[in-house]
Amino acid sequence: MLTLEEYEKLNPRCELTHNGVSVVYLTPTAFTKWRADSLFEKEPVTIEWIAGFRPGEVLVDVGANVGMYTIWAAKTRGARVFAFEPEAQNYALLNRNIVLNSLGGRVTAYCLALSDQAGYSELHLSDLRVGGSCHSLGERVDFRHQPMNPAYSQGCVAARLDDMVASGAVQQPDHIKIDVDGFEPKVIAGARRVLSEKRLRSLLIETNQNLSDHLQMVEELKSLGFRYDPAQVAAAERKSGAFKGVAEYVFRR
């Protein structure tokens, strides 16, 4: 039997090395350990996309979870990252990962949900696991927009990316990653001024091709001058299971 003090000292972590750079993630649960172990296999297109960043470029990570890609971009590419994660447990571990990797001067994390409207709301949690996902802002629906019974509903503050940038709280990004389990079009609707800035080079958006509002979002981005590679999307698309039809779209202009 471990004493409480011995248990606290365990502080499990996973260290990855890339081109001589060490990246460390805290893994207090089996689920967070899986996130670290599957970093290169779960969404390889995201790792490849980050590899194209120039040192010092600004990334806005919407739906940062515990910081897998936030930390990776800041540590391996020298990116300046603004991370958004509204779920309380994930946000706490995100900040611990920032400190663990000595990135306090390069990464700013906000416990906020980005959407099309600013204000107070609820975040409906699919489960209570640290590192969990598929939560929903304001609406009791899942990533397919189907009704869901949340395990818990947490108080939450929502903001618009346009307002965050206009206020100076967030720098105009060079890159944006959006992974908010079905609510991506709302994030885009709250970021139209940011999207119009020519400095924005690329976006990576998890897109559910089964949903009409997601397909409309793709068309809107195309009208703004962004393009994507259908072959890249086809390679990223889930071919079976609950997430069949979901894929990471990389938009560039």
Q: What is the pLDDT of residues 130-160, one digit of tens each?
A: 999 999 999 999 999 999 999 999 999 999 9
| Whether pLDDT at 14 is above 90 | yes
pLDDT digits (tens, 9 = 90+) for 181-240: 999 999 999 999 999 999 999 999 999 999 999 999 999 999 999 999 999 999 999 999
HSE-CB for 193 with a 13 A CA cutoff: 12
Distance separating alpha carbons of residues 104 and 98, to the nearest angstrom: 6
Domain ranges of the chain: 4-252
The CA–CA distances, whole Å, from 68 to 58, 187, 244 equal: 16, 20, 23
Neighbours of 159 (CB within 10 A): 21
Helix 68-77 to helix 88-100 angle (10° resolution) is 20
Query: Shortest CA distance to 16 belongs to which of 95, 101, 94?
Result: 101
Distance separating alpha carbons of residues 202 and 223, to the nearest angstrom: 15
CB 165 within 8 A of CB 150: no
What CATH class is the domain 4-252?
alpha beta
Query: Shortest CA distance to 117 belongs to which of 181, 220, 166, 189?
Result: 189
Please give the structure tokens belonging to residue 38. 């599957």
